[in-house]
Structure 1
């Protein structure tokens, strides 16, 4: 597929008759590009599949094919995609339980809403890979049964299934009430005892790094424990039993668990691993006293995690704000702040707090306008894209802060064509703004012309529908294939030019 054809295939203004012509001559790559068009007719979808069967999967996932158009014997991957989308008939699922290809049965096992008899057949499949895939999302009654499966890999999958009842998760975590597993992927593959070298040079080796088995399936049991502790259905009183585990990332999962008992946090706050303390700091189940303890943690990463706790008191947030950069997005506690709290934050003497609230996109107009006039560049930068800011405020923001806010001002949906054109003249310090201007729906031709001078903004400007037609045509011969493709995909490209370019 050349750049011209690829761009035309994506052009939303390409007439249906020209889509037909592209389909008739498409190679594999172009056919796949065409499969993602939203305006394909049923006839065109069928023609694409006939030309290149590999387009069946994306067409099925996009709802462009119906079961009546698909023969599962001829297009098994497409049929499985329809089943995965909930659009395939039950008889297809029953057919695939007998498929000789293990990979297809694995994909079937991952499909939602399978009939009970299909689930039962997959649970009894002779390939562990198939049963393990089913176990990841099997309904509760099947998960209970598979929790006692003789293969450790299946049990590991059950541990991560949120449908698995708490009693079964506890058994998988502790081993209580379960017969030991008889197999794992390690002892199925190599003589034990065996520890897999993380730097294993064999290209045919499928064992994960660190795979370990001396008959007790150690690495799979550890993976089972990890998955179970990530499962929100595990009871808190069982989770806390692993707070002293020698593996730090197991303790980290304990510290982050949503059912962690309130009194279990204190010893974890003294854990030697910053990752454990950080996970605890971010956990909304901890109390205010523990948050205050963690706010004095020596590790800045722990304090940063605490700032992301959605239940953090605002006074602690104010204390933390001056000690790290939180980024542009609003923190959870700021995002959930009440109107009165928003007003307090916006009037804070701490610029960091004002910057955090400025990132919200639902500010009252008076608060938004006040933050737009803030003397701190980060505050202004965060509020600049907010819808509703008028041109005068945006201009004053630029006068005060210049290139530091240029790209965010350019991202404002209300930025006028005149303002966008002026932004392109802030070079050399505002090249990032060019890439934003080149995407803006209101960008005028003059601003887009300036964007064409920037290597990264050039392909974006080439695809902008407000670029003058003569310029679009000239870019069809550009030396950069990204630019050629974008120009060919430009919805303002005249139909007569499309006629000329389509074979």
Structure 2
């Protein structure tokens, strides 16, 4: 790949005539970048498609091609992309339903709005993968018949399809009212009874780890139930009975569902598997009793799940705050805190609670400013990127807390050029500061030059129009391909330099 041409293809300042010249010499990588240009015209898209036919699917999904531009026999992949977008010719579906390649028929089966006769043809396809794909995506009345298909893979797809009627989903969960499954992926390939070795090293083996069949297709039936239990359209009354099922996967699939009886959630909250308890802990449908029980759980993942519950009482959150790690996430309960709750959170004796609140970006100015003066560095770090703090307050944060808040201050949209230059001069340097400033809209040429010292910030800084032009031109020859490509994509690159780069092709 020519990394300079690859970068030029993404240069937003490239004149149309230069885009034309790039199209004329494009390889697959350059074509991919050109196809993504927002200013690519229809004539240019056709020229690019003719030059590199492999980019046709991307052009179709981007709306650059029409049905008149595509021969569905020569380029069925592009025709399928247009059908998937609802932009294909109506007769293409019937043509492609008879395509000898099952991958093409499977892609067709996933397209929306297929004519009824095409759906009927695909439902009878000899390749079960095609039928399973139809069962996964169709919103037609054919789904009820597909749910009765003798192959387990088709039923599993129907069980995962949210357009499947609730009564059919209930039947797929329980098996009541449906004929038995006759075939599964295991018994089609192996003599039964058979249990697939979880550490199977056979070349080309496609069976799932642990798949088994003794004639009852047990692992396949389990997968059908798992898909239906995870489907939000499956009626709650059909799934509640699986809360004490021996399969951890089936119990866990219930843990995040709404609309179940409180007794089911209480049972899941006492599940022996921490993953099940963690999922139910984050479910807003659990009652207060289950919430308070889970708050005392010894597993950190369970407490973390509870901390993300949007209906968590604030007193329980305060109990959890110092014992959970949630990263830089704004917790849903904090985001939903009412105006009268915000001052209470801001004055909490727990620095962790104040830190959680500081991640909100819609705080009243007096709350925001108070958190900016907090004595705890982690609170200040959380509020530091909040718009509206003002440069003087941002500098004061740096003076008080130093390296602990530098990255967050550098991310503040109100940080001006002088402050950003001050941050890049910090001793010792903080690498993440360079990466933040390299993308900051207020970064000065001096700050961007300093960012070139960091290997991860360098490609970002090189692409900035504020970087001195002479430096950008020099970096076209950088040994790091990502830097050279970023330099070529820089909109400040002089026209004469671009001309020279294209003349060498």
Structure 1 position 69, deviation (Å): 1.0
Partner of 2:150: 150
Alignment of 1:111-122 (within 5 A): 111-122=111-122
Write the distance in 1 (CA, Å) between the matches of 2:427 and 2:103.
54
- 2:82: which partner in 1? 82
Partner-residue secondary structure (3-state), 2:141: helix
Alignment partner, residue 26 of structure 1: 26
Deviations 1:288-332 (A, max 9, x none): 121111111122221111111111111111111011222212111
1:378 counterpart = 2:348:
no
- Give how far 1:191 is off: 2.2
Q: Could you state the TM-score of these two structures normalised by the residue count of structure 2? A: 0.97
Deviation at 1:168, TM superposition (A): 1.1
Describe the superposition over 1:180-224 as per-residue Cα deviations: whole angstroms up to 9, x where unpaired.
Answer: 011111222222222222332232222222221121111111111
SS of 2:5 mapped into structure 1: helix
2:460 aligns with 460
Q: Could you say which residue in structure 2 is the equivalent of 1:162?
A: 162
| Aligned positions of 1:225-264 closer than 5 A | 225-264=225-264
Query: How many angstroms does 1:231 deviate by?
Result: 0.9
Partner of 2:137: 137
Any conservation in 2 of the 1:237–1:261 contact (CA below 8 Å)?
no
Alignment partners' CA distance in 2, 1:93 and 1:488: 42
Instruction: Measure how far apart 1:140 and its partner are.
Output: 5.8
How far is the alpha carbon of 1:34 from its aligned partner? 1.6
How many positions carry a matched residue from both structures?
503
Q: Which residue of 2 aligns with 1:272?
A: 272
Counterparts of 2:342 and 2:117, CA distance in 1: 55
Asked if the contact 2:398–2:406 (Cα under 8 Å) also holds between the matched residues in 1, the reply is: yes
Q: For residues 400-445 of structure 1, give each alpha carbon's deviation from its aligned partner in whole angstroms, at most 9, with x where no partner exists.
A: 1111111111111111011111110114341110011011111001
Contact kept? 2:112, 2:138, Cα under 8 Å? no
Aligned mates of 2:232, 2:143 — CA distance in 1 = 16
For residues 202 and 428 of structure 1, what CA distance do their matches in structure 2 show?
Answer: 53
Instruction: Output one character per residue of 1:372-398: Cα deviation in whole Å (capped at 9) or x when no partner.
Output: 221111111111111222111111111
Q: Which residue of 2 aligns with 1:347?
A: 347
| Residue number in structure 1 paired with 2:437 | 437
Contiguous gaps of at least 5 residues in structure 2: none
Name the SS for the 2:163 alignment partner.
coil
Q: Does 1:292 find its partner at 2:292?
A: yes
In 2: Cα distance, 1:411 partner to 1:380 partner? 13
Q: What residue is the counterpart of 2:209 in the other structure?
A: 209
The answer as to whether partners of 2:243 and 2:251 remain within 8 angstroms in 1 is yes
Moved more, 295-304 or 307-316: 295-304
Contact 2:355 2:382 in 1 (8 A): yes
Q: How does 1:331-342 map to 2 (within 5 A)?
A: 331-342=331-342
C-alpha deviation, 1:237, in angstroms: 2.5
Rounded Cα–Cα distance in structure 1 between residues aligned with 2:114 and 2:396: 60
Partners of 2:31 and 2:351 in 1: how far apart? 53
**RMSD, matched Cα:** 1.4
Equivalent residue, structure 1, for 2:126 = 126
Whole-angstrom CA distance in 2 between matches of 1:362 and 1:98: 56
SS at match of 2:406: helix
Q: Which residue of 1 aligns with 2:183?
A: 183
Aligned residue in 2 for 1:43:
43
**TM-score, length of structure 1 as denominator length:** 0.97
Q: Unaligned 5+ residue runs, structure 1?
A: none
Asked if the contact 1:459/1:482 (under 8 Å) is kept, the reply is yes
Equivalent position of 2:54 in the other structure: 54
Contact 2:445/2:468, CA 8 A, preserved across alignment: yes
Instruction: For 2:21 and 2:140, locate their aligned partners in 1 and report how far apart those are by CA, in whole Å.
Output: 51
Give how far 1:232 is off: 1.2
User: Contact 1:232–1:259 at 8 Å: present in 2 too?
Assistant: no
Q: Distance in 2 between matches of 1:389 and 1:359?
A: 14
Match of 2:314 in 1: 314
Give the drift of 1:270: 1.9
2:487 maps to 1:469 = no
8 Å contact 1:334–1:356 — kept in the other structure?
A: yes
Moved more, 96-105 or 339-348: 339-348
Partners of 1:455 and 1:268 lie apart in 2 by 48
Q: Is the 8 A contact 1:61 1:82 kept in 2?
A: yes
CA contact 1:384–1:405 (8 Å) conserved in 2: yes
Kept after mapping to 2: 8 A contact 1:359/1:383 = yes
2:97 paired residue number = 97
Give the Cα separation in 1 of the matches to 2:371 and 2:114.
53
Contact 1:235 1:259 in 2 (8 A): no
What SS does the aligned partner of 2:142 have?
helix
